[in-house]
Structure 1
Amino acid sequence: MNKSTIYAWLLSIVCFLVLMIVTPSIPQSQDYHHFADHRQFFGIPNTLNVVSNFPFLIIGLIGLVLCYHENYFRLSLRGELYGWTCFYIGVALVAFGSSYYHLEPNDARLVWDRLPMTIAFTSIISIFIIERIDEYKGTLSIIPLLLVGIVSILYWCWFDDLRPYALVQFVPCIAIPLMTILLPPMYTHSTYWLWAAGFYLLAKVEEASDKLIYKWTYHIVSGHTLKHLCASMVPVFLTLMLAKRTIEPERQSLYKIWKVTLMKFRDDKNKVEASVCSFSSVPILEPQ
């Protein structure tokens, strides 16, 4: 591990410690467990909030199989295989952890809901480092990042403080879209990352609007159920990206591509306007 990597980890640790000192603790609100939809079908408590986790299992297993089936995703770096394997394991485990929690929502069961999600979140960060910064550093970061996620859950369990877990959730939400736009990709179809981020943001909005959406839909479906379905679209889009992408021959960031496209659009628009002005200035000769 070189000096720059060590400095980066030290800086991250210092920033985290400063944040923990200057911000108040965030205890787990017990109101979080009071979801809008309590209906029971076929003897399953909170049925829709439970069964809406099933897509996570399907896409997680599909992703794992395709990672190892004749290199279907054409992963060219060994670190990528490790990162995507951890990601799909986390996605598949979300189905079990979240279903277990929603059968009887409480703090003890919430641990098993959040733990798989942290595995998926932290794996995504390491994948980005592998693809867009450095393969060696990204591969080395997989285990430390997974441990950071696990420790954030344990810290909440021991001290009833959500700050580390909130940071683990918040950082990928900001870092991934920014890295997608600003850093040149190794592969094509990078915009799928933005679609995935958009669906995750929508899922968080639906989660916050659980009771309101349940009321708006005349008690047909709650916001939390829709949150599960939208969140499951994140691995769906990433799986589509892996299946379709190829090595990028000219590595350019989305920001640069968009900038060039915008400049070209402006130039074409100016040329059209100039042509219209030239045409309108031609005198019309009236017959004698």
Structure 2
Amino acid sequence: MSVIGLPTPDPAVLAGAVLVALTLDLVWGEPPARLHPVVAMGAYLGAVGRRVSRASGTPARPCFEFWSGALAWSLGAALVGGLAWFAAQAMVGPSAVWQMLLLGGLLKPLLSWRMLRDEVRSVEVALAQSLEAGRQRVGRLVSRDVAVLDETQVREAALSTLAENLNDSVVAPIFWFAIAGLPGAAVYRYANTADAMWGYLGERGGRDWTWAGRWAARVDDGLSWLPARLTALGIAGATWVRNFPAIRAEARRTLSPNGGWPMGALAVRLGIRLGKPGVYLLNPSGRSPEAADTAAALRRCGSVVGALAVLAAGGMLGGWR
């Protein structure tokens, strides 16, 4: 295979790289912050975001803010995609095994299952100690005010984050890696990080993002559309056909066109309620989640990651026959 006259890894190498990345994630977790590409993306977005957004309480300039945000986002995406493309080209060599190992090492920081799993599990451990400990721990996962959450709401916040970020941090990066190689995964993670930092209707952190973050939010919506539904399919598993109408109905209860799909699938699959006070309530006829439901949710989401690993192994072995 080739891209613009330069060689690129074949599908078996790409599949093997996914397996390597998932293995590295399971064994070692996250690289140091100083070496983490997503941290670097966040640093760029933080610095530029202060220039394209307006201070809270100052007059709005919708056209300027929107196009400034769009341009700043696009420049960052071009830089991220270009660096990833050149890095991937540098991995192409005579040995397919080395390509697989090196490309998998580059892909690993763009996906994160172990950290997500451990953070959600730690919320349950903290709740067993005290409600305040649970609030503090879940505050690492969500941007809402955790000081007013009760035990059920703390658990709901953790489980909602688990389902939504299974897509954002695992399924979608792998999906875009399969579609467009390392640049696809890198640009997706950049877009998702930009949405997390800029994609707000209104004020956050003393800045108003209504217009400056609109481009970032819409691009992330588009890139996450199909992966979010595939994530919901993975969570639902064998119950997908039977529960699809219910999952679709729950997904429509959220403002996000994508986040409600994996969250709704988890709520329906486990028979629990998942809500964010004043924003949404999924599967309202379900029961309140308990500690056992956190364990069940982690197993269910872990099975999705396991299925991705099996598919990657099958693609690698099938391509090398």
TM-score interval, smaller chain: 0.3 to 0.5
Q: TM-score, normalised by structure 1?
A: 0.38
Q: TM-score, normalised by structure 2?
A: 0.35
* Structure showing greater relative contact order (alpha-carbon pairs closer than 8 Å, 6 or more residues apart): 2
- Higher-Rg structure is 1
